[in-house]
Amino acid sequence: MTDKTSEKLKSLLPDNMSDPLNDSKGHAELMKHKRLTENAFPHVRMRRLRQNSAIRDMVKENQVQVSDLIYPIFVEEDIDTPVAIKSMPGVVRETEKTLVNKMKEVQDLGIPSVMLFGVSHNKDHDGSDSMNPNGLLARMVSTAKQAAPDVVISVDLCFCEYTDHGHCGPINGHGDVDNDKTVENIAMQAVIAAEAGADIVAPSGMMDGQVSGIRHALDVTGFTHVPIMAYAAKFASVFYGPFRDAAGCSLGHVKNVPAHRKSYQLDPANARAAIRDALMDEQEGADMLMVKPGMPYLDILAKLREKTELPLAIYQISGEYAMIRLAAEAGALDYQSAMMESLLSFKRAGADMILTYSACDVANWLK
Ligand code: PBG
Ligand code: ZN
């Protein structure tokens, strides 16, 4: 301590107090003396606005509402009863029949939209069942639409649930997904979905040019009113693991075909590439952009929020859901509080819409 500092400290002490620097009671005694801290606080105290729940509610910046939610639903053909998905407690593959009641439940809960995924039993190299007007994709869309006319039917456009090799499009001679052929096919799939009654199409294959391909195909077939929600920044994430069980589209069981999607989905290391890719979807005519996964990619959502005026969605994916549910089952977290906090993080980062497997639970909690 410099002489100057020591002088200053001494000047703050009452006359009857011994010199703390040379006293056995030392600094502790000095700290008890109020004059040392009385000017230490600014006039601003953040805790004024946190003192009770009424005031906290008044200054709340974000909240999760039922109208934010999109509920993903898996529909499997040729099964008699719903099948539970082990790694995702509370999530099932619906049958085409039980889809009807599920849709009614969603409508009654006031959830505005669902995202449908087909689990195919008719897989081939191209995923052609999804381009068939009588195939699973078309059937589940029209079943859902008829069961719950007030619910916005969004449908995942991709081929991985319908190809025998599990990739998001046909494989070319180099063992990679054929980009341009996939775009041609996905444009067809979009028209099939729209004809079946889809209100929103959501291409998730991360093929270059897929948004403009779909927009063109929808427009020339009279579906100018059907919006595209682009899976715009979709990363090659390990957190999709439980979904691949759920949708029956695991990779790695076919020879000479990669066991990953790194040649089309984004590298988790890349933020700038993600923004470029997403903004390209906007240029191609996407009406809404999605970031996926959710919590590990909040930075991407927040950055994108600054770069576009389009509505933004975020997908809290299977692995995120599994982490929260399984941690809750192990007694490490409270499911409801942990889920609501994670959804709030999406709103804070700029999401307008949230896809979550907890949508029905959330709607019930918010009642
Ligand atoms: C495939 C697709 C995936 C998800 C939705 N559509 C994952 C993948 O790339 O394998 C993930 C959903 C989830 O994990 O909840 N196009
Ligand atoms: Zn896919």
Residues 86-138: pLDDT tens digits? 999 999 999 999 999 999 999 999 999 999 999 999 999 999 999 999 999 99
48 and 155 both lie in a single domain: no
pLDDT band at 248 (very low <50, low <70, confident <90, very high): confident
Q: Does the Cβ of 318 fall within 6 Å of ligand 1? A: yes
Q: Are 229 and 152 in contact (CB under 8 A)?
A: no
CATH number for position 146 = 3.20.20.70
Average model confidence (pLDDT) across the chain: 93
Are residues 16 and 150 located together in one domain of the fold?
Answer: no
* Three-class secondary structure assignment of 110-175: CCCEEEEEEECCCCECCCHHHHCCCCHHHHHHHHHHHHCCCCEEEEEECCCCCECCCCCCCECCCC
- Judge whether 158 and 144 are in contact, CB under 8 Å: no
Question: Does the active-site annotation cover 255?
Answer: no
What is the rounded distance in angstroms from the CA atom of residue 108 to the CA atom of residue 3? 75
Q: Give the atom of ligand 1 at the shortest distance from the alpha carbon of 249.
A: 10
Distance 292 CA to ligand 1 centre (A): 9
pLDDT for residue 243: 85
Residues 86 and 204 in one domain: yes
Domain final residue, candidates 58, 76, 102? 58
d(CA 116, CA 71): 8
pLDDT for the residue numbered 181: 98
100 vs 95: CA distance, rounded Å: 9
54 and 73 assigned to the same domain: no
Pocket test for ligand 1, best of 75, 204, 263, 318 (most atoms within 8 A of CB): 204
Is any ligand 1 atom within 6 A of the Cβ of residue 178? no
pLDDT bucket at 249, cuts 50 / 70 / 90: confident
pLDDT tens by residue, 68-81: 999 999 999 999 99
Please give the tally of structural domains in the chain: 2
Tell me: pLDDT of 43 over 90: no
Is residue 146 located within the same domain as residue 256? Answer: yes
Q: If 0-12 CB within 10 Å is exposed, 13-18 middle and 19+ buried, where does residue 73 land?
A: buried
Start-to-end CA distance of the chain, whole Å, equals 61
Q: Is any ligand 1 atom within 6 A of the Cβ of residue 168?
A: yes
Query: Which domain covers residue 81, as residue numbers?
Result: 67-366
Are 24 and 71 part of one and the same domain?
A: no
Alpha carbon of 364 to ligand 2 centroid (Å): 31
Task: Give 168-193 pLDDT, tens digit per residue.
Answer: 999 999 999 999 999 999 999 999 99
Backbone region of residue 206 per phi and psi (left: phi > 0; alpha: psi in -120 to 50; beta: other values): left
- Does 317 sit in the ligand 1 pocket, CB within 6 Å? yes
Q: Are residues 7 and 93 in the same domain?
A: no
Domain boundary among 58, 76, 99: 58
104 is catalytic: no
Q: Which of 102, 123, 234, 303 is catalytic?
A: 234
Residue 167 in this model has a pLDDT that exceeds 80: yes
Distance 177 CA to ligand 2 centre (A): 11
- Which residues, in sequence order, are CB contacts of 58 under 8 Å at separation 6+? none
Determine whether the shortest distance from the Cβ of 74 to ligand 1 is under 6 A.
Answer: no
Q: Which two tokens stand for residue 151?
A: 């619910």
Ligand 1 pocket residue status of 284, Cβ below 6 Å:
no
Residue of 102, 123, 292, 303 marked active site = 292
Rounded mean pLDDT of 322-335? Answer: 97
Same domain? For 49 and 179 the reply is: no
If asked whether residues 87 and 223 sit together in one domain, one would say yes
Q: 49 with 111, same domain? A: no
- Picking from 108, 87, 180, 119, the residue whose alpha carbon sits closest to that of residue 150 is 108
Q: Are residues 362 and 258 in the same domain?
A: yes
The band of 38, judged by pLDDT with boundaries at 50, 70 and 90, is low
Given a contact cutoff of 8 angstroms between Cβ atoms, the answer to whether 284 and 215 are in contact is yes
Alpha carbon distance 140, 144 (integer Å): 6
115 within ligand 1 shell (Cβ under 6 A): no
Do residue 189 and residue 308 come from a single domain?
A: yes
Residue type, 72: P
Ligand 1 atom at shortest distance from the alpha carbon of 158? 16
